[in-house]
Amino acid sequence: MKGRRLFTALLAAPMAFFISQEATAKDACTLNDAEISCFQISLKDMHTTQYSVGMKSVNCKAIKLKDKSDKKLKSYLLSHPVPFVEHDGKYYFTDHHHMSSALRIATGNPEQKVFGTIIGKVSKEDVAKRKKQINAKSDDEAFWNIMLGNTWFYPFGVDGGGPQDPYDLPSVAKLSKGKRDNPYRSLAWMVRECGGYTKSPTPFTEFRWAYYLRGKLGMTNDRLRETIQNKPLDPETFKPEGKLKKDPLYQENCMGTVDAKESQKLSFCNTPIMTRAIGCAGIPDAQGLPGYIANPDAICR
């Protein structure tokens, strides 16, 4: 099955299927201060729905997770349940790819469990109905058509191109090793942390900003990766030393984040690459993007 056929088929047919939000309660998770049912699942059993992550963001999350005690890590995971779509005995997670990749690095354990919650179910009947609607050649094509139509699947690759073939979706382990690093996704995260736009519940917000910034800056992945010092941490040797915020790994990867000292953050956000990217985020060209903040003094060049 070709990804481009999947995308074409999506445009040709209406959306119609059932979504169930039932889940077996095994642990009490919290989401937006509300208690929800959740379950545990290991990283190796989770099926991804996006092709890339920004390793700068993953690195920062990994460093913070590594610094937590077992008790604090469990508490953190309970308050950050991973959303899943269930289909044919498999669990496809639609968000928290960066957190999951960071957890794989921080623990070095493919059996590490996260807490998940079911946001949707796609039954065999749903797939059969969609297959008939779009005249799909396979059940897989119909299934991914449903996933795409509900923004449960981001079909674009590390260079922004697509749609890609779902068969090429990487494992959590591969994402955590930097094999699918999208430095523009890291840049989009950094721009948000520096106040260039606000956090939004819109699916794939950072990827939409990444696509926009790629078009404005025009830098290759390799050049941008070098500019922002975007490189993967080795799960086997990654051992932050001493107090977290004094650790060189933290300073290299997390200086743009909201919990950095104001002086450090200001210095980071005023670097040439960040000044340029933040300027591009504030111009009218970006006003259709989620979280946009108009800046009449913004310059994009």
Residue 33's pLDDT is 72
- Please check whether residue 99 is in contact with residue 48, taking contact to mean a CB–CB distance below 8 angstroms: no
Domain shared by 7 and 124, yes or no: yes
**Is 76 a member of any domain?**
yes
Q: Any idea what DSSP says for residue 197?
A: B
The per-residue pLDDT for 147 is: 97
Is there a domain that residue 299 lies in? no
For residue 116, the SS3 value is strand
Q: CB-based burial of residue 111 (10 Å sphere; 0-12 exposed, 13-18 middle, 19+ buried)?
A: exposed
Query: In this structure, is residue 296 part of a structural domain?
Result: no
Indicate the helix (H) or strand (E) that contains 210. helix 205-217
Based on the fold, state whether residues 216 and 138 are members of the same structural domain: no
- CA separation for the pair 266, 120 (Å, rounded): 41
SS3 30: strand
Give pLDDT, residue 39.
93
* 297, part of any domain: no
| Non-local CB neighbours of 227 within 8 Å, separated by 6+ positions | 219, 273
Q: Is residue 159 part of a domain?
A: yes
Q: Is 47 helix (H, G, I), strand (E, B) or coil?
A: strand
Last residue of a domain, one of 110, 142, 176: 176
Q: Do 245 and 281 share a domain, yes or no?
A: yes
Is 132 in the same domain as 233? no
Q: Indicate whether 224 and 158 sit together in one domain.
A: no
Give the pLDDT confidence score for residue 10 in this predicted structure: 46
Total domain count, the chain: 2
Residue 197 lies in a domain: yes
Say if residues 216 and 192 touch (Cβ distance below 8 Å).
no
Where does a domain end: 157, 176, 195? 176
- The predicted pLDDT at position 28 comes to 73
Strands (E), the chain: 27-31, 34-42, 46-47, 82-87, 90-93, 113-121
pLDDT at 215: 96
Query: Which residues have CB under 8 Å from 174's CB, separation 6+?
Result: 180
State which of 176, 194, 212 marks the end of a domain. 176
> Model's pTM, two decimal places?
0.85
Q: What tens-digit pLDDT sequence spans the chain (301 residues)?
A: 454 455 444 444 333 333 333 333 456 787 777 788 899 999 999 999 999 999 989 988 998 898 889 999 999 999 999 999 999 999 999 999 999 999 999 898 999 999 999 999 999 999 999 999 999 999 999 999 999 999 999 999 999 898 999 999 999 999 988 889 999 999 999 999 889 999 999 999 999 999 999 999 999 999 998 888 766 666 666 666 666 666 667 667 776 665 666 666 667 788 899 999 999 999 999 999 999 999 999 999 8
Distances (CA, A) of 114 to 96, 99, 178: 10, 10, 21
Paired residues of 137 in beta bridges? none
User: Whole-angstrom Cα distance, residue 247 to residue 258?
Assistant: 17
Q: What is the pLDDT, as a whole number, of residue 117?
A: 93
**CA-based radius of gyration for the chain:** 20
* Pair 163, 202 in one domain: no
Which 3 state secondary structure label does DSSP give 1?
A: coil
251-286 exposure pattern, b = at least 16 Cβ within 10 A, e = fewer:
eebbbbbeebeeeebeebbebeebebbbbbbbbeeb
> Which domain, by its residues, includes 217?
183-286
**Euclidean distance between CA atoms 210 and 214, whole angstroms:** 6
What is the structure's pLDDT at 25?
42
